[in-house]
Structures are given as structure tokens and as C-alpha cells.
Structure 1
Amino acid sequence: MNNISSPKFLTITALNEWDWTSRIIFFSFALPVYLLTIVLNAALIMIIAFEKALHEPMYIFLCNLCVNDLCGTTGFYPRALVYLLTETNRISIEECIVQCLAVVMYTTGEFTNLSVMAIDRYIAICQPLRYYTIMSPFTVRSLVTFIWIFPFFIGVMAISLALKHPLCRHDMHRLFCEHLSLMNLACKQDIFQGIINGFIYISKAVFFVFVLISYLKIILACRKSKVNQEKFYSTCVPHLISFMITTCGLSDSLLTRFKAETVSNIASTFLSVIILTVPPVVNPVIYGIKLGPIRAKILYIFKSQRIHNF
């Protein structure tokens, strides 16, 4: 922070090409999606928290995924909604740093959550007799700790890199603050920043490969077992859908990293918000539909409410 003398505020230029009508239309769509995201994730968290039958590793990890989704959307939506209703589009350095930490922790947390959930599904399907021995309370606590500690470490490291040199520019060409965009505003960059950025991307690539290998082994184990196939379709398909959506959403990070200029500003803006908007609203829907115990609890709540109303 001491290295930053100016500017004190950054200007978000992602919406410069949008007229007032476009802003209102997008705001009218974004606000309900944000509220829906909060309701869906909060509902799933409460169902898992208050239903003792769901106090199992798979649902505990799912609960953490929902919490991470809430943190990510809260770090993005409120500020973006303000940009849509104002013409200044300014954000202070301090607010930008907080948002950057939230975004980096969220994107990294999606991978740590999905990787841990892949471990859980691999053990449940490939080593079912040893499941509760391996996934002991201590193991679950350790994995939950990893889910949050590693993203926090990556977030702090990314922000420290972005603030290593003074900022010479103030135009942020994204709808939200993230460390690569901040780094591009710096007066200079060095090889150490490149090495650490490489480590961040490699760590995400390792999680990606780890999940792929885990599911390859799960699929091989399910080929000759109808019981395993049922487990796969009911508990693994939602996880795979979440994983694919999260991976696709990282396309904007690659565009930012390599400073692609062939993509229009509007298209780049839409690409940038995919990972912050789509997984958080899709995850609770697909898990609520596909996971039998959660679906049964949701249906029970709705039926009880209807009976109460009558």
C-alpha cells in the first residue's frame, strides 16, 4: 500500500460503450439473478446445516461450495450494479483491493472445492468399504481447512504482486478488479511477478488434471457395476457440470493474461462475468435437482408449506 501514491481512484471503462438504455436493461436482469443466487445458495446451506441426515462429507463440501459462491457473487454484484446506475464508474484503490481478494479467493476456491469433492466421490465409488475410515471427521476438517486456506494464500499473494510497483494508469478495462488487470496498470512489471502468476495458473491446472484423472478412474470403476453407475449419475454428474462451467469461465483470465485485442469490449465484458455469475446460480439448482436427499427435503418443505396455507 505504501508504494501506491497515485491514482487514489480507478476508472472502470468496461461500460463506456453502453448507453443508458442498455445499462437499465442489464441492471433489470442482473439484480434478480443476484437475488436468486443469494436465495438458492442460502437455502441449500440452511437445508444442509439443519438436516442431520445431510451431515456427511459430500454435503459438507457442497455447503462450502455454496458459501464460496455467495462470497464470490457478493464481491462482484453490488459494485457492478452501482456501475450500471451511475456514470462515474469509479472505485477507490482500497475497495478495488478488497474486491480483488474476493474474486481471486472465489475463483481459486471453486477449484479447491471441486477437487475435494472429486476426492470424496472417488473414495465413495472406488473404495466404498473404506469410505468412512478414510473420510474421518479429522480428514473432513483438514480438507475443509484446505478449501479455504489455499485460496486465501493465493489471494494475498496475487494482491501483493499487483501492488509491488506503483500504478501509473487508472483505467480498468474490466467490470471488476482482479490482480492481472491491476498488474497491467503498474508502471513496470518484473520476472518475479511472471513466475508467481505462472505458479497460480499451474496450481489451477493441477486441480483441473486431478479432477479429470479422478473421474476417469470413477468412470472405469462404474463400467461393470449398476450400483456404481447409479451413484455416478446421482452424485457425480452435478459435480462434473459445475466443474465444466467453472473451467469454461476462466477463458476471460486467459484473455486478460495475454492482452487479447481481437475481442470487442462488450464481448470481453460478458466473458469476464461468466465465472462470477453462472456457477453460483447454476450449482445449487443442479445439486438440488440431482441429489436425492436434498431434492426430497426441498419437496417436503414445499408440500408442508402448501398444507399449512390450506
Structure 2
Amino acid sequence: MNESFTLIYAAYQDMGSVKYVLFTAIFLVYLVSLIVNISVLLLIYLDISLHKPMYIFLFSLIANGLIGSTAVWPKVMAMLLTDVNTGSYKGCLIQIFLIGAYGVCNYAILTVMAYDRFVSIFQPLQYHTIMTPQKVKQLSFAANFVPTAFLLVQICLTTQISLCHDTIHKVFCDNLSVLSLSCTNSILNHVSNVYGIFLLIAFAVLPVCVIFLSYFKIVLLTRKASTNARKKALETCTPHLVIFINFSVAFFFAIIYNRVSDYLPNELNAFVSMNYALFPSLMHPVIYGLKNKEIQHCLSKMWTKAMFAVSQR
């Protein structure tokens, strides 16, 4: 029954000429995000000196961000440009899954990265013994597979709910919006809501607590360390910490936004959505590029080689 549903995205109605301003802003940010993210991905893949645990995890984080932003913004831009504000139910479910995976996997990867930084500071001599290539692969796989598997259960629960309404008051789909379209307030709705809270606690709240605890211990350790050791620890942890705070603010702001989006102007709906699904994925490589000397050096080396190759033609 639900498969034949055509959903209406009310957030695109009555935007007027503002939609072209939004389209331009989204297009420019998304384009820059694609260029920067793909550049860093290629750099990590091609430069052997970056084949280290931290950069392998960063590769996974950036790739996940690209999936999350691409699941949303091409569709949003198409709707803004064509005045079409409808979409299929299947497409909505796929979008829910991809944007949900972006959120839960991001936190899982950030937790694994925090563990990597923790080991590098507390057990520097045993670091390469602990963070073996095999363990890095296992951690990367677990950070992406486990949250995704749990999220699939949520999607399966959602597909079992019968829909009687067809209007979503947001610029893209999320699970809460689809549940609000159900015919009745059934037990299945409650089960889906409770399971969603479980996912939030397991893959957002707990990772935040673990990361905060690891940094609290790092701070306690560095207080007793020398100035050079403190500086090195700061350089090692700052990019990850900035990315973690940046994403956490956007993520928990999005949770609040989900509860009040029906009361916001359409233009504000679009802007707030960008804060969760677009800006963080742009900031990940930018923050690492600005704060990490190894990436800066490799980028400079790659740029020099490219200029030399051009000059030889």
C-alpha cells in the first residue's frame, strides 16, 4: 500500500524567488564540499605516507560525509529548480537510511578515532603493536557495519506502518516525519519510536560520553607532562576534537529542529537542514587540512608535482 504513495514536501511551497538564492547557496557549498572531500580522499589513497590508522579512519569519515550529503542535496536542488515538490515513498526510505547511516556511522568512526588518539598518547611505544593493519581494518568495518545493521531494523519497522497522510514539512525525509503520516497511533509506532531512542542512545549519546571521557583522561595526563609533550598531544588531538564538536553541535541541533520544524518558515527549514547534512561534511577535510602538517605537506607535494608535469608539456 505504502509503496505507491507520493509524498508532498510542503517546505518547498511559497518560497518564491528565495528558492533561487537557496539553490545557489546549496550548489556552491555542495560543489566545494565535493571538490575538497574527493581531493583529500584521493590524497590519502594515493600517498603511501598517509596509509596510517588516523588517515584510514579519516578516509572513512570523509567518505561517510559524502554519502550523507549526496543522499540529500542533489534531490533538494532538483526540487528547488524544477518547482517539483513531490517524491516517491521508496525514495524517501532510501534517503532516511542514508542520512541515518551518515549520523550513526559518523559517531562510530569518531569514537574509533578517539581510541586511536588515546592509544597514541597513553601507549606511544606500543602504538604500532596495538594498532596493527588488521585491527585498523576490523575497527573500520565495525564502525560502518554495526550501526548500519541496527539502522536497517529501524527502516524495516517503518515500512510496516500504514500511511494515510502524504505531506512532509521538511526539505528531506527523516523517520520521525514518516511516522507522523501514519493512520493511527499503533503499537508499531511506539515500538519504532522506542527503537529510535535506543539508536540515539547507543550510537550518539554513548559515543559522546566515551569521547569526552577519553579527552578528560588525556587532559589529566598532559597537565603533568612537559611543554613539548603537551604541545604534541594538542596538535594530535585538536583536529579530531574540533570535528567532533562541530558534528555534535549540528547533530543535537538537528534533533531539536526535528521537533519544531513544522513551525518554522520554509526558508529557515532549508537553512537549518544544511547545518546538519552539508556543512559538517565540508568542514571535516578543511579542519584536517588546516590543522594537520602531514596533509599540508602531502598536498603541497602533490601540487608541486602537478605543476611540474604541466610545465613539462
TM over 0.5, shorter chain: yes
Whether contact under 8 Å (2:44, 2:51) holds in the other structure is yes
AA partner of residue 175 (structure 1): V
Q: CA deviation at 1:264?
A: 4.0
The answer to whether the aligner puts 1:282 opposite 2:280 as a matched pair is no
Q: CA deviation at 1:272?
A: 2.5
**TM (normalized to structure 2)?**
0.91
Whether contact under 8 Å (2:68, 2:98) holds in the other structure is yes
Q: CA deviation at 1:307?
A: 4.1
Distance 1:176 1:261 in 2: 13
Secondary structure at the residue paired with 1:128? Answer: coil
Q: 1:178 aligns with which of 162, 168, 174?
A: 174
Whether contact under 8 Å (1:72, 1:106) holds in the other structure is yes
Structure 1 284/5 Cα, relative in aligned 2: closer, same or farther at 3 Å?
closer
AA partner of residue 16 (structure 1): Q
AA partner of residue 200 (structure 2): Y
The answer to whether the aligner puts 1:101 opposite 2:97 as a matched pair is yes
* 1:125-164 matched pairs, under 5 angstroms: 125-164=121-160
The answer to whether the aligner puts 1:209 opposite 2:218 as a matched pair is no
For 1:212-240, what per-residue CA distance to the aligned partner results, in whole angstroms no more than 9, with x for missing partners?
A: 11111112222223343233332311111
Structure 1 187/89 Cα, relative in aligned 2: closer, same or farther at 3 Å?
same
When the two chains are superposed, the root-mean-square deviation of aligned CA atoms in Å is 1.8
Structure 1 30/261 Cα, relative in aligned 2: closer, same or farther at 3 Å?
closer
Whether contact under 8 Å (1:221, 1:228) holds in the other structure is no
Q: 2:2 aligns with which of 4, 19, 34?
A: 4
Aligned to 2:118: 122
Whether contact under 8 Å (1:252, 1:268) holds in the other structure is no
Structure 1 101/120 Cα, relative in aligned 2: closer, same or farther at 3 Å?
same
Structure 1 285/5 Cα, relative in aligned 2: closer, same or farther at 3 Å?
closer
Distance 2:256 2:272 in 1: 11
Q: CA deviation at 1:301?
A: 2.2
**TM (normalized to structure 1)?**
0.92
The answer to whether the aligner puts 1:199 opposite 2:198 as a matched pair is yes
Whether contact under 8 Å (2:15, 2:266) holds in the other structure is no
Q: 1:61 aligns with which of 53, 57, 62?
A: 57
Aligned to 1:248: 249
Distance 1:91 1:42 in 2: 29
The answer to whether the aligner puts 1:48 opposite 2:44 as a matched pair is yes
AA partner of residue 256 (structure 2): L
Q: CA deviation at 1:261?
A: 5.7
Q: CA deviation at 1:265?
A: 4.1
Q: CA deviation at 1:197?
A: 1.4
Secondary structure at the residue paired with 2:87? Answer: strand
The answer to whether the aligner puts 1:218 opposite 2:218 as a matched pair is yes
Distance 2:261 2:77 in 1: 26
- List runs of 5+ in structure 2 lacking aligned partners: none
Q: CA deviation at 1:117?
A: 0.5
Aligned to 2:10: 13
Structure 1 198/265 Cα, relative in aligned 2: closer, same or farther at 3 Å?
same
Whether contact under 8 Å (1:17, 1:266) holds in the other structure is no
Whether contact under 8 Å (1:14, 1:265) holds in the other structure is yes
Between the aligned residues of both structures, percent identity stands at 29
Q: When the two structures are aligned, how many residues end up with a matched partner?
A: 305
Q: CA deviation at 1:172?
A: 1.0
AA partner of residue 247 (structure 2): T
Distance 1:253 1:162 in 2: 18
For 1:168-218, what per-residue CA distance to the aligned partner results, in whole angstroms no more than 9, with x for missing partners?
A: 111111111111111111123433223211101111100111111111111
Whether contact under 8 Å (1:169, 1:186) holds in the other structure is yes
Structure 1 261/87 Cα, relative in aligned 2: closer, same or farther at 3 Å?
closer
Whether contact under 8 Å (2:41, 2:62) holds in the other structure is yes
Aligned to 2:20: 24
Structure 1 174/262 Cα, relative in aligned 2: closer, same or farther at 3 Å?
closer
Secondary structure at the residue paired with 1:10? Answer: strand
Higher mean C-alpha deviation, range 232-241 or range 109-118 = 232-241
Whether contact under 8 Å (2:18, 2:267) holds in the other structure is no
Secondary structure at the residue paired with 2:83? Answer: coil
Distance 1:57 1:241 in 2: 19
Higher mean C-alpha deviation, range 118-127 or range 181-190 = 181-190
Distance 1:5 1:75 in 2: 20
